[in-house]
Structure 1
Amino acid sequence: MITTTQAQQYDIVVPHCCLLGEGPVWDEQTGSICWIDLLNGRIHEYTHAANLFRTLPVNDLIGAVALCENGDFIAGLKEGLMIVNRNNGTTRLLQHPEAHLPQNRYNDGKCDPMGRFWIGSTSLNNTVKAGNLYTLNNDLTCAIAIKGVTMSNGMAWSPDNKTFYYIDTPTFEVAAFDYDIETGQISNKRIAFTIPRTEGLPDGMTIDSEGMLWIAHWDGWQVARWNPDSGRKLFSFRLPAAFITSCTFGGDELQDLYITSACAGLSEKQHEEQPLAGSLFVIRNCGFKGMKPAIFRYP
């Protein structure tokens, strides 16, 4: 397998490090990049044109956010799936499908092309297959899409809206499903490809306009571009942090690649060696373009 690692210059978006940065989301209406600090319970937002960095505390573990039509956030908090007012941080509960499982929390989440919110769960105690993947529909009903996952992570929909890709991190596998855009149903699971363990654990994921998957590799120092049809690693961007957590495209033409990272779990020596761990990185004009970000649609 021939791959290329590129040392293209990255920028630090803001001089701030998260404990566990995750879930970057591009807001094309405001030209802002939003991301979370999962452990500190904060939503961060940076607007480049105004050079404005804002932090919205939600006072709870937060696994993921997505944008709503009115500009607010839909978020997976420890205490449920909630609307977060973007101005003042107040929350409104929509659903809590795991209220009966206090040992779980919500993890990665994303909107599908029809504006449904997909959100996975994981055990606080690392219990194997204790989590599930849920779909929060446009009418606010909630259903299980995949049962029995361990660490629900990366999600992406193919450009033709026919395939759903999904990562359960400890499996090192990227699964593919047939996806029905009208109903939101997934079927015909197969393993698109398996990540070699030497690459680091597969974490968050996005997809580009050519249908190639971009995967953040926890303990892999990289975000890598993979061909889901052949399973071939096309190349990677190396970064100055071991724990790379997620990525998304942003910018006026979705030409910039935003990448989150974490510093939680590093030893004192590792902190000294990785002073930028926990930063939000951006590779401007990365050479590829992303898909238009989907937003949550509800009554």
Structure 2
Amino acid sequence: MKKYLIIFGISVFFGCKNEKKEIIEDEYENLYPTATTFFQPISSLDLEEPDANKVALGKHLFFDTRLSGEGNISCNSCHNLNTFGVDNMRFSPGDAPGTVGGRNSPTVFHASLHKMQFWDGRAEDVEEQAGGPILNPLEHNIKDEQQLVNRLKEVEMYQELFSKAYGDDDPITFSNLTNAIGAFERTLIPGSRFDKYLEGDQEALSKQEKKGLNAFIASGCITCHSGPALGGQMLQKFGLFHDYWKFTESEEVDLGLFDISERESEKYFFKVPGLRNVVKTAPYFHDGSVADLDTAVKIMGKLQRNVDLTDEEVEDIVAFFGSLTSDIPEEVKKSPFKS
């Protein structure tokens, strides 16, 4: 068995061949040990418990429209906790009338498990990420850090919440604000049926879901979509074998990481998204150009692995994706500003 796993891992990660590989097994008896080499359940992670006062403050900030220039949007507007951390729109409306973001808003669920943030990976963690949209004129439209700090210093509630979380010595700072939002987001990591499967409950997945997991591994999708978040750990070229826009029918060609680095070798590089809750977070890709998950899976097979997935394989993989669905408690979704 060990020899089999070693050979399989080498063939997927280093062989870089395009043909699909078959996992030979009787009723998927070898699927579980194979899966546990590529994926880890959330329960296996050594996660630090966020400070309760910082989480409470972060939740208030996450829902507060005062974090936008004209008070029209909050973090929750684009990352709606009632719809799995997204707004299900191609591009999210900004604070100023008529403005929209330039890329699709990814889910905030499980984002703290990712090695980098934003589609171009320019932020290291959720704390750093939290400040980006606030100062973006197409998003929250706050002119500068001090404008927001001055605004919150006038709110008695925030005087108390920041003091509880960060002490009494001028606690209302932009750095503490983004730190608190990050603390709240680090609590948004619900477990799924797939986690139960990885923990040893092999009946947690249906036969079709196991078939889809098998196809997902055999087709080489785990080259990028592995680990506890099933992605989110690397930047990768979107369109390894073909121009992505010819398959997604994107209206504009986004150069990705190249816009930051200006390196020709990094054109069309984007952060590999995590796949948790993927059936709930349409539309797909950095530009939200594809609304249908089956279509997105088929496109990924062709662009990234140069394989033509059959309709049956796509159907099975999408069924497996259903086991990645997980939700947060209803109480967490409720805005602290509503009765």
- TM-score interval, smaller chain: under 0.3
> TM-score under structure 1 normalisation?
0.24
RCO comparison, higher one (Cα < 8 Å, 6+): 2
Highest CA radius of gyration, 1 or 2?
Answer: 2
> TM-score under structure 2 normalisation?
0.22
* Greater fraction helix: 2
